[in-house]
Chain A
Amino acid sequence: MSSNRNDNMIEITVTDSGGITRTLNARDGESLMEAVTRARLPGILAECGGACACATCHVYIGPAWLELVGKADPMEADMLDFADDVRENSRLSCQITIPKT
Chain B
Amino acid sequence: MEETVIIVGGGQGGFSTASRLREIGFRGRVTIVGEEEHLPYQRPPLSKAYLLGQTDVGRLSLRPRDYFDKLGIDLALGKRALRLDRGQSNVELADGSILSYDKLVLATGSRARTLPDELSQALSGIFVLRSVSDAEHLRLALASQSRRVLVVGAGFVGLEVAAIGSQMGHSVTVVELSSRVLNRVACEATANAIQALHRNHGVVVKTGTKVDRLHSHYGAVTGAQLSDGSFVHAEIVVVGIGGIANDELAADAGLQTASGIVVDQCGRTSDPNIFALGDCAVFPFEGRLVRIESVQNACDQGAAVADVIGGSTASYAPVPWFWSDQYDAKLQTVGLACDYDKVITLHGSREGSAANWYFRNGRAIAVDTINDPRTHMSTRRLFGAGQSVSIEAVAAEGFDAAIEARRHQHAGAPAQQ
Contact = CB atoms under 8 A, between A and B. Distances in A.
Main secondary structure of the interface of B (DSSP, over half): helix
A81 B401 CA distance: 12
B59 A30 contact: yes
A38 interface: yes
A53 B59 CA distance: 18
B356 interface: no
Interface in A81-96: 81-83
A40 B378 contact: no
Contact of A47 (B296, B330, B372): B296
A82 B44 contact: no
Interface stretch (B60-68, B186-194, B258-266, B304-312): B60-68
Main secondary structure of the interface of A (DSSP, over half): loop
A49 B42 contact: yes
Contacts of B222: none
Nearest to B64: A38
Interface residues of A, number: 22
Interface residues of B, number: 31
A82 B350 contact: no
A68 to B, nearest CB: 23
Contact of B373 (A30, A38, A45, A75): A75
Contacts of A47: 295-296, 299
Interface in A30-80: 30, 34, 37-38, 40, 45, 47-55, 74-75, 78-79
B409 to A, nearest CB: 9
Contact of A40 (B48, B70, B325, B402): B70
B295 A82 contact: no
A98 to B, nearest CB: 13
A50 B377 CA distance: 16
Give 4 nearest A-B pairs by CB, closest first.
A82-B377, A49-B42, A78-B373, A53-B323
10 contacts: A34-B59, A40-B63, A49-B42, A49-B44, A51-B48, A54-B296, A75-B371, A78-B372, A81-B402, A82-B405
Interface of A: 30, 34, 37-38, 40, 45, 47-55, 74-75, 78-79, 81-83
